[in-house]
Amino acid sequence: MPVGTVGSVKAVHVSELKEDIGAQIILGNTYHLYLRPGLDILQQAGGLHRFNSWNKPMLTDSGGFQVFSLTENRKLSEEGAEFQSHIDGSRHFFTPEKAVDIQRIIGADIMMAFDECTPGDADYDYAKKSLDLTERWLDRCLARFRETECPYGHRQALFPIVQGCVYPDLRRRAAENVAAKGADGNAIGGLAVGEPTEKMYEMVELVNEILPKDKPRYLMGVGKPENILEAIERGVDMFDCIMPTRNGRNGQIFTKQGVMNMRNERWKNDFSPIEEDGASFVDTLYSKAYLRHLINVNEILGLQIASIHNLAFYIWLVQEARKHIIAGDFSEWKPMILQNVTRRL
């Protein structure tokens, strides 16, 4: 799922997302959209779908991760989270109920429960207290969700989030609690936030043994191509990450043969296509040397080309994974593609 934090996937317009990249669903961010453009504008527009002209599914996170990242400017209580805007320093208060109300107004097809995202290095006592709070907040989110409706008339889903840091007993407890709620889908949060990669895989495997297999399982904020492939093997269905666009804007290009740093001197005189058999039209339209030039002079077109290429590559990768799952040879295919996509070119 391409990430459109403030209502836009950076440097990419919706026709490219649909027709060239092939995105089926994109993300919006509750915290950022609440601050700007604000709920009044979104409601007047008829929701984010109409505001940004994206007529396919959309998912919003609850703002929990942003509140987590504002450690020095937020205060947690049983009632909710008070935080200071990173824009103007104004103070705001999110409760589980308010997070649901905001996402109703945004109009996302999939909404996230409000949670506390525990740091990857949290000690056991902190992680347990945090999970206790997240579970109480989940009950309040679900109650609010049941008593409200989408103001624009379409159906919305609410996904609970499994927390518990890197502690197996907490993750198991959280997954059992979430599975019992019978939601349309379930999310796995609090990973890729500083813990060792192997711990992330261990927690994903443990949680997915418990979460229902017939409901989508969404690993939040992950990740590198290799992380995605490993998580798919462990039963994850949905992903989002800013990496394709953010890294692309910094000159890192993911390809079927490996990773290229377009700022490197070696591409200066390389007039071959960005990727001969790439997933996007930009791959054969432009050369490596031209893309390197654009990125080195900070030309906006370079940022666009890199973002389109990387997003198309990520969508291609998960589509290929799906094909090989259906064909029954994913386990044979994964080591080969992993060897390719992790190579430094």
Q: How far apart are CA 191 and CA 220, in angstroms?
A: 8
Q: Which of 54, 45, 59 is nearest to 14 (CA)?
A: 54
Q: Which residue in the list 20, 40, 61, 329 is annotated as catalytic?
A: 61
Active-site position among 40, 101, 109, 240: 240
DSSP string over 109-162: SEEE-------TT--HHHHHHHHHHHHHHHHHHHHHHHH---TTS---EEE-EE
Q: Which of 205, 221, 215, 117 is nearest to 159 (CA)?
A: 215
Is 277 an annotated catalytic residue?
no
156: annotated binding-site residue?
no
The answer to whether the annotation marks 63 as part of a ligand binding site is yes
Supply φ then ψ for residue 186, to 5 degrees. -140, 145
Q: Please report, in angstroms and rounded to a whole number, the separation of the first and last CA atoms in the chain.
A: 26
| 190 marked as binding residue | yes
- 248 carries a ligand binding annotation: no
95 contacts: CB under 8 Å, gap ≥ 6: 79, 80, 114, 140
Name the strand (E) or helix (H) holding 101. helix 96-106
Please confirm whether the linkage preceding 47 is cis (ω < 30° from 0).
no
163 is in an annotated binding site: yes
Is 107 annotated in a binding site? The answer is no
Buried b (16+ CB within 10 A) or exposed e, 227-253: bbbbbbbbebbbbbbebbbebbbebbb
Tell me whether residue 184 is one of the annotated catalytic residues.
Answer: no
Establish whether 64 is an annotated binding residue.
yes
Q: How far is CA 167 from CA 122, 128, 219, in A?
A: 10, 9, 17
Provide the 8-state DSSP code for 273: B
Residue 80 annotated as lining a ligand binding site: no
Determine how many CB atoms are found less than 10 A away from the CB of residue 313. Answer: 23
**Residue numbers belonging to the annotated binding site:** 61-65, 115, 163, 190
**Residue numbers belonging to the annotated binding site for substrate:** 61-65, 115, 163, 190
Residues annotated as catalytic are 61, 240
